[in-house]
Structure 1
Amino acid sequence: MNAPNPPLQNQPSTSVALTRYVAVGSLLGLIALGLAWELVLAPIRPGGSLLALKVLPLCLPLIGLLKNRMYTYRWVTLLVWLYFTEGVVRAYSDRPPSNYLAMIEIVLCLLLFAASAMHIRWRFRDSRAAAAAAAVVTPVSEHANPS
């Protein structure tokens, strides 16, 4: 008879929380990989290069993802394709170990995109379900006195 309470806005469903953790983790992975790649593991020039600055745009959405802002999830799905493109180009044009690092970058980009897209979809699904549950009006008893 009583329907279960819908998830509150402060308590996301398990799937939404999981996608948030995967998105933040893959973004942190991209930042760490970019810095390690260009400074230590396989820099273009010995001693590192200024190409390590490519991770700076990735630091901007990190704050929004940690604060769980929907707008950030939306635009990070567009930003990630720049890094995916770089990974594909360098996977085919660089020599080892740089091409292996590029393959890791591709995987992290795909993880970030998929997690962000699923997070957006499932969060909208949960908010629609919560709105529908809130709109359900319980019938008023015939014995109740309206005055």
Structure 2
Amino acid sequence: MTLAPKPVELEIQPSRLLLAWLLIIHFSVVLMLLVSPIPLLISVGLAIMVCCGGYLCIQRWHRQGVQYLGWRDGIWMLEMNQLTDEVELQSYLIFPSLIQLVFLREGQSHRLFIFPDSVSREAQRHLRQRLTLVGVSSSEQSRFERQN
């Protein structure tokens, strides 16, 4: 008798680590521009452009697209902007402190990065186990094998 695999349910929060990284990178670039030997007018103009880019990055971080990720009976579900859709897992990468998932949704590829502070440690462990055991769907594996 085989037991049915336990479903995966993740409530994904915006990562404060990603926010800190974005702020540090943009702030560092602005500092380097202001102390560089570039003429002051050009460096201030570039610094303003970097600040605008940083602002847009932070706005995108704040409006995180995916709030929920679930897996049950071989079906992946994503909740994006209060709409829940069935998606197909194309590929994934597991790093020590980051999980990258690539989903196909409505013919478009979507990447989802799960940082350590986006979900609980237990939920992240469960997702890693599920990915290791299940992987991508058999139709995707056969498509991958046909390409190689």
Provide the TM-score with structure 2 as the length reference: 0.34
Query: Which structure has the greater CA radius of gyration?
Result: 1
Q: Which protein is richer in helix relative to its size?
A: 1
Q: Which has the higher contact order (CA 8 A, sep 6+)?
A: 1
Provide the TM-score with structure 1 as the length reference: 0.34
